[in-house]
Amino acid sequence: MLVPAKKLTVEAAAASPDWQVIPGGDGGETVSRRLNCAFRRARGRSAYPVRMTASVRLHHVNSVGSPVLPYPADLAAVADAVVQAVADGPAPGVVLVAVITKLTSVEFVLYAEDERRVAEAHQLVQAAAGGHQVTVQTGRDARWKRYRLLVREGRQARLGLVLLPFFPLLAGAMVYAHYGPRWGLGEAAACAAWILPWYVLYWVKRPARRPAGAPARRPAAEPTSKGQRGRRAPGGWMFASVAAVLTTLLFSLVALLAGPYLAPVVSLAIAAAAGVLLTAAVWPAQRRYTALMRSRQPPAGHAGPPGA
């Protein structure tokens, strides 16, 4: 039930959270941000002037003792455990406003009435973290600047998602200005061919809103088949796909800047050559990233982190 903005207190916003999931950020280090947007309408936030950022870092080792990245399900389990512990309310005077999931850790942004409440919240997070390392940073933030920054970043991310489907029209218009309707329509269709499917898949598979403490769904671990073990890094089809995407992006830019001086075929050739060169430059990093993501898939029978 929504509470009128004039009557919504910080305590009411914490008791009736409105969690929204925002993907990505920080140049790829951040996987997702879960933000309680109910605090945007809450009054009396200055009564919680002490900001606390608790970071829970997960450490895993492989069979030879080398450190590896934690599994996403383990990060989600730690996040859910801490969110549930705070929601149960054993430490009054503390509210949880954001959960930031990164590749190797989960950060919790909380606001407290005073330093004594911060110490209680630290113990609460430590107990819910299942034995993982917890580091805490505190500071005065009576105006909730960190929270407002997260809200603004969330709005910008959502605005980008809203405007993304219109990019093919913009790219087509840039080409149409110098090369006419056929080239403009072709550019718009080429951009739409990769933007729209990605956009639809994002909204179909996006993380859904869920109440505080609701457990994340974990896919059942399947035995690794011989074919799966033998999967190789991205091959030629993936290279060609990335080069084609870059070509569509660069063609509209070349047409806009050099359209009066170059024929459309020449501009397309320049864009294609640049797309291939850029793809070749980033391809080693892409292969390493793909191998890294595959290494984060839990093995069959993985039961999650300790204390999950």
User: 252-267 pLDDT, tens per residue?
Assistant: 999 999 989 999 999 9
**In 165-178, which positions are buried (b, 16+ CB within 10 angstroms) versus exposed (e)?**
eebbeebbebbbeb
Q: Per-residue DSSP letters for 84-139?
A: HHHHT-SSTTEEEEEEEEESSEEEEEEEESSHHHHHHHHHHHHHHTTT-EEEEEEE
User: 159-184 pLDDT, tens per residue?
Assistant: 887 888 899 999 999 999 999 999 99
Among 29, 13, 32, smallest CA distance to 153 is for 32
Compute the average pLDDT of residues 65-78.
72
CA distances to 22, 164, 168, 295 from 98, in Å: 11, 26, 34, 28
Look at 10-24, 272-286, 294-308 and tell me which has the smallest mean pLDDT: 294-308
Domain with CATH 3.30.70.100 in the chain: 10-155
Sheet containing 94-102, strands listed edge to edge, beginning at the edge strand earlier in sequence: 19-23, 30-36, 94-102, 105-112, 50-57, 133-140
Residue 301 tokens, joined: 């029978």
93 or 160: which leads in pLDDT: 93
Residue 73 tokens, joined: 């399900």
- Tell me the β-bridge partners of 67: 61
Q: Is the pLDDT of residue 32 over 60?
A: yes
181-187 long-range contacts, CB within 8 A, separation 24+: 183/255, 183/264, 187/248, 187/251, 187/252, 187/255
Among 33, 36, 103, smallest CA distance to 75 is for 103
pLDDT of residue 132: 86
Q: How far apart are the first and last CA of the chain?
A: 31
pLDDT of residue 182: 95
User: 73-92 pLDDT, tens per residue?
Assistant: 788 888 888 988 888 866 68
User: 42-55 pLDDT, tens per residue?
Assistant: 999 999 999 999 99
Fold classification of 10-155 (topology level): Alpha-Beta Plaits (3.30.70)
Residue 278 tokens, joined: 């850029």
Considering 2-16, 152-166, 187-201, 282-296, the range whose residues carry the highest mean pLDDT is: 187-201
What is the length of the chain?
Answer: 308
User: 6-22 pLDDT, tens per residue?
Assistant: 568 998 988 888 888 88
pLDDT of residue 226: 44
pLDDT of residue 141: 94
Q: How far apart are CA 88 and CA 142, in angstroms?
A: 25
The reply to whether the predicted model has a pTM over 0.85 is no
Residue 163 tokens, joined: 């405007």
Q: Chain-centre distance of CA 34, in angstroms?
A: 9
Q: Is the pLDDT of residue 225 over 60?
A: no
